[in-house]
Chain A
Amino acid sequence: METDRIASTLHPLERKVLPILKSTSSFESIVEKTGLQKVEVMRALQWLQNKKIIRVNQKLQEEVSMDENGLKYKEKGLPEKNFLESVKDRATLDKIEKTTNLSKQELSISLGILKSKAAIEIKKEKEIIVSITDNGKKLLKKGFPEEEFLKKKFPMNTSELKDLDKFAFENLKKRNRIVKVDIIKIINAELTDIGKKIIQHKIKEHEIIDRITPSVLKSGSWKKKEVRKYDVKINVPDISGGRRHFVNQAIEYIKKIWLDMGFKEMTGSLVQTSFWDLDALFVPQDHPSRDMQDTFYVKDPAYGKLPKELMKRVKAAHENGWTTGSKGWQYKWSAEEAKKLLMITHDTYLSAKTLASIKKEDLPIKSFQIMKVFRNETLSWKSLFEFCQIGGIVVDPNANFKHLKGYLKGFFAKMGFPDVRIRPAHFPYTEPSCECDVWHPKKKQWVEVGGAGIFRPEVVKPLLGEEVPVLAWGLGMERTIMEYYNITDVRDVYKNDLKQLREIKMWMK
């Protein structure tokens, strides 16, 4: 039977609480009668409610209790009463002060209250003279309702106050620390129909095993007794484990894509000379991208060293095209400018370094890198000063522009974006250059993901010594990650909020 099943899942705490509910419903009395701690009762009630055995009603209630002045006045009487008593028929304020020992503040409050009750009259001659009225005399005889109120048993539910008590309470509430009002939660538990049925059953307490312990196993007592059934739908507290940062989870996956496509991973430093970051990539020395505003330059040391032989070729490529058939930029190239140290502005510099390190016999070569790159920008919801870039090159005598589109499409398909388009763009080191977009199936629009192109001969020949097509790309990563994790403020990617890191979903690709 259903009730049997439910009864057999009851936890020891529930078993203690449930019988009590026959006779009582208030939380306090349950605590009192079971001898359990408040949290234990709370938990038991919660569980019982989950099982629909009881209904727990909570309501908020205003409760009045005595404050520090209230306690004092309960003992010594209210100041206005003491005041009035000390007037006798008439007295000066000085005298009243002496006999009653009231503070200045209490005196003035008493004056105010008694006047409003028309219990006294005040005359100001040389001194202030107070005389009692007929009303005042009656009041003394009858007693002050406020004082009566203070004699009651506290705390009290304000909604139960009536007539005079209510009047007295309203008066006292306005005064300094006589009574205080708290909002409290009143918890009541009542049996539901199911509960009433269950309670008819004899709730077995001793024949049931709550936990399988080593001693239960050793004694074999489980063979004779029933094991309490659990509510398997119960909510359990959260736990969290160690895990990699979600950006690094994505990086692990992205690496795997390139590795699967036969690429070799490259690594490099984060500080470089302008030579590798810009000059080797044929970026003219007066190019706007060298402006101080975009690039972080290093102060001390401010300069690095240049590779001598290579430098000559790069210089020639800039000045007159060297042997590439190009006219070059036709200006005087400065080694000093090329020595300047900067925080890498793109990871394409590493592609240049890779080109300088390989031999023609090693071709074809496919390499990639995932690195932090830097932009001298203010941190904001849409811009970081330090972010990841995914770069790569294919050095292949037979490579062409269609292959570039192919590699990009291959990569993005594995990232979950099967549709890729390229648009014309401009970079000083590639020709043709393109901007790469992927079709966002949810947003139903094209999203920009990075730049690509074929390295110019002026880049390749000085580095490699040969003119070979080199397909190259530098792609952003944070945007894809933000998309995946529903992050809208790019700063949140590197905020290192431990709650976020503990709770964020895994990179599931």
Chain B
Amino acid sequence: MPTININRKVFERYVGKKLSTEKLKDRISYLGTDLEDVNDEEIVVEIFPDRPDMLSVQGFARAFSSFIGLKTGLRHYKVEHSNEKMIVDKSVANVRPYTACAIVKDMRFDDEKIKEVIDIQEKLHITYGRHRKKIAIGIYPFEKIKTPITFLAQNPKDIIFQPLEFPKKINALQILKQHPAGKEYGHLLEGKEMFPVFRDANGEVLSVPPIINSHRTGKISEKTRDVFIECSGFDLRVLEKCLNIIVCALYEMGGKIYSMDLSYGNKKQVTPDLKPEEMKVDIDYVNKWLGLNLNESEIKKLFERMGYGYRNKKALIPAYRADIIHQVDLAEDIAIAYGYENFEAVIPQVATIAEENKFEIFKSKIAHLLVGLNFLETSTYNLANKEVQCKKMNAEIALISLANSISSDYNVLRAWVIPSLIEILSNNKHHEYPQKIFTIGTIFKQNNKFETNIEENERLAVAVASEKTDYTEIKQVLDYLFRSLDLKYEIKEAEHSSFIEGRVARVNAKGKNVAYIGEINPQVIENWELETPVTAFELNLTELFEVI
């Protein structure tokens, strides 16, 4: 999740008040942001993905000052109409169909502010923009652009310009190969015959979204006063929200917002639209959901603490809020304004009957039987690797692989549990013998009778490592278990390459093969660099439970 590092002085200027570090710590946590660090110079906060509007110092300070009761209620952002035009050509329909744009004038940029703007853009790209997949944002010095601007799709070979911070003009295909941004985001245009491009009235390239701006027309400097901003992507609603978030932050930096006329063929649109959205509030619903008893004027006050307006049983949602899709979202903001710390903890008197899962009870009883026989229970991972499951066990067993594990130590689902125990024995050679251990764990195998096409079984694996262990000893354990379960079983001779030939058997209970038992093959013992004999069995508890 994204964190923002903000200058404490700048923050306090926007908030309009200085607060003690203690107070800051407390309030930031209860606003719905996760405080990472605060010191005299800097505040580091984690912003949750539902609040992209707080990814700038302006946005964060705005929410904060409302929350502490300083500047409450809906803020008004004046938007003037600029008469500047953006023509969206139908050719973009299949590559990047939408854009929302605006002009912000009278920005007084300095190094600090330029950094802030680039920061907002980058944070939004990564989070709300899903690494530019959903939204690409471009911010340009408006004075270098001649309107109307056209958004169109062209053959990338015909899009030739000098990309940002690059020494020369190249075409858009070359950008993907040569420019760092091209290499990073090129996959977003992979396979496209036509690339989206913004061009001004002189045909000058402004940018190829979502990759890179032009060096000439796409770089703001201290001399820039007015900026042109565009967001492009696939969901107009999302693009408008993103644009709103940016222009509101720029407005708070001192800029003046101007809207633009967009034309999609005959369809006209004006962006940005900073009119608050209205949502009906059912006060009873909110009270019931939160367990509160708030009246309308209290509700109104709480809304205002979260930067909303409230009028005629309707919440006026600020245009920069991207996360309000249902009344429960309003309820949460009411709860935050009310203060999570102020909610009483109430355990209601609701009579329900407790019920422990039967199979879990069974497993626990089995574990306690083994504990009674002096076995130590171990707790083993479900993920393993082929080396452990097959190669070192001298066995060929079908394994289900993971698609993307970052470690080769655990990239398959285990198909049996004995290897987990042998691995433990191998890691504990320096400890006292005899070593008698067991574990109950899940195994996985392909089976399309299941919803997941994978069958999961719970298995009990038991192993003994000691100088004197033999088939008799391990069979005594199995006998004891079955006797305790009042269940009969049959032993059949079996073959299993992990065990010694002639000292391995299959266990059959009520017609089902439920276990393997035997002395572990010396080859396996050698593979694991063990120096004592090992005996083991593995019992399918899922199947056994079914026949009991």
Contact = CB atoms under 8 A, between A and B. Distances in A.
Interface of A: 241-245, 247-248, 252, 255, 258-267, 269-273, 286-288, 292-293, 296-305, 321, 324-331, 341, 343, 364-366, 372, 374, 376-379, 385-386, 394, 396, 398-403, 405-410, 420-426, 428, 431-435, 454, 456-458, 469, 493-494, 496-499, 501-502
Interface string B120-137: 000000010010011000
A243 B453 contact: no
B49 interface: yes
Contact of A288 (B49, B407, B446): B49
A433 B332 contact: yes
A405 B400 contact: no
A372 B130 CA distance: 29
A405 B444 CA distance: 38
Interface stretch (B221-229, B380-388, B504-512): B380-388
B403 interface: yes
A244 B379 CA distance: 9
A271 B452 contact: yes
B50 A426 contact: yes
B480 interface: no
Given A245-B377, A325-B327, A425-B48, 9 more contacts: A242-B377, A244-B377, A270-B456, A328-B325, A400-B290, A401-B291, A406-B347, A424-B336, A432-B328
B326 A469 contact: no
A364 B401 contact: no
A378 B357 contact: no
B402 A298 contact: yes
The 7 closest A-B pairs by CB, nearest first: A400-B291, A424-B32, A426-B48, A402-B291, A326-B326, A432-B332, A406-B347
A405 B451 contact: no
B376 A426 contact: no
26 contacts: A258-B354, A259-B354, A263-B354, A265-B360, A271-B413, A271-B452, A297-B403, A298-B402, A298-B413, A299-B402, A300-B446, A301-B446, A325-B327, A341-B453, A376-B406, A396-B348, A401-B335, A402-B345, A421-B340, A424-B32, A424-B332, A424-B340, A432-B290, A457-B328, A498-B437, A501-B377
B367 A296 contact: no
A431 B290 CA distance: 10
Nearest to B458: A267
Contacts of A457: 326, 328
A364 B336 CA distance: 27
Contact of B326 (A330, A410, A431, A433): A431
B326 A325 contact: yes
A431 B329 contact: yes
B201 to A, nearest CB: 34
A425 B336 CA distance: 10
Contact of B290 (A302, A366, A386, A401): A401
Nearest to B133: A286
Contacts of B380: 494, 496
A431 to B, nearest CB: 4
B126 to A, nearest CB: 9
B424 interface: yes
A407 B49 contact: no
Contacts of A301: 400, 446, 448, 452-454
Given A299-B400, A400-B291, A401-B343, A423 B30 contact: yes
Contact of B359 (A263, A267, A366, A494): A267
Residue among A263, A424, A433 having the largest count of chain B Cβ atoms under 10 Å: A424
B481 to A, nearest CB: 14
A298 B370 contact: no
Contacts of B404: 292, 296-297, 376
Contacts of A401: 289-291, 335, 343
B83 interface: no
A500 to B, nearest CB: 9
Contact of A498 (B289, B356, B376, B402): B376
Contacts of A267: 357, 359-360
B372 A330 contact: no
Interface string B430-470: 01100111010010101010011110100000000000000
B331 interface: yes
Contacts of B370: 242
B548 interface: no
B381 A494 contact: yes
A271 B30 contact: no
Contact of B435 (A329, A364, A386, A498): A498
A421 B437 CA distance: 41
B346 A341 contact: no
B401 A300 contact: yes
A252 B325 CA distance: 41
Interface residues of B, number: 94
B107 to A, nearest CB: 31
Given A296-B402, A297-B402, A304 B378 contact: no
B344 A402 contact: yes
Contacts of B364: 252
A458 B329 CA distance: 12
B235 A331 contact: yes
B356 A255 contact: yes
Contact of A386 (B353, B383, B439): B383
A241 B406 contact: no
Given A271-B456, A405-B343, A426 B49 contact: yes
A419 B1 CA distance: 28
A421 B341 CA distance: 7
Given A262-B350, A385-B383, A401-B290, A304 B336 contact: no
A379 B32 contact: no
A456 B328 CA distance: 7
Given A386-B381, A431-B329, A499-B431, A273 B451 contact: yes
A299 B378 contact: no
Contacts of A377: 406
Contacts of B264: none
Contact of A403 (B346, B368, B373, B409): B346
Nearest to A469: B289
Contacts of A364: 350, 352
B32 A426 contact: yes
Contact of A432 (B127, B237, B331, B452): B331
A282 B409 CA distance: 33
B367 A248 contact: yes
A241 B372 CA distance: 8
A473 to B, nearest CB: 13
B405 interface: yes
B459 to A, nearest CB: 13
A379 B407 contact: yes
A456 B356 CA distance: 28
Nearest to A365: B352
Contacts of A252: 364
Interface in B393-437: 400-407, 409-410, 413, 424, 427-428, 431-432, 435-437
A425 B325 contact: no
A270 B382 contact: yes
A501 B453 CA distance: 36
Given A255-B356, A259-B356, A498-B376, A305 B326 contact: no
Contacts of B345: 402, 405-406, 408-409, 420
A325 B346 CA distance: 29
Nearest to A395: B352
A374 B354 contact: no
A378 B378 contact: no
Nearest to B407: A378
Contact of B288 (A273, A366, A400, A456): A400
Contacts of A431: 326, 328-329, 331-332
A385 B407 contact: yes
A286 B134 contact: yes
Residue among B325, B329, B353, B427 having the largest count of chain A Cβ atoms under 10 Å: B325
Contacts of A243: 371, 376-377
Given A244-B371, A321-B325, A266 B357 contact: yes
B31 interface: yes
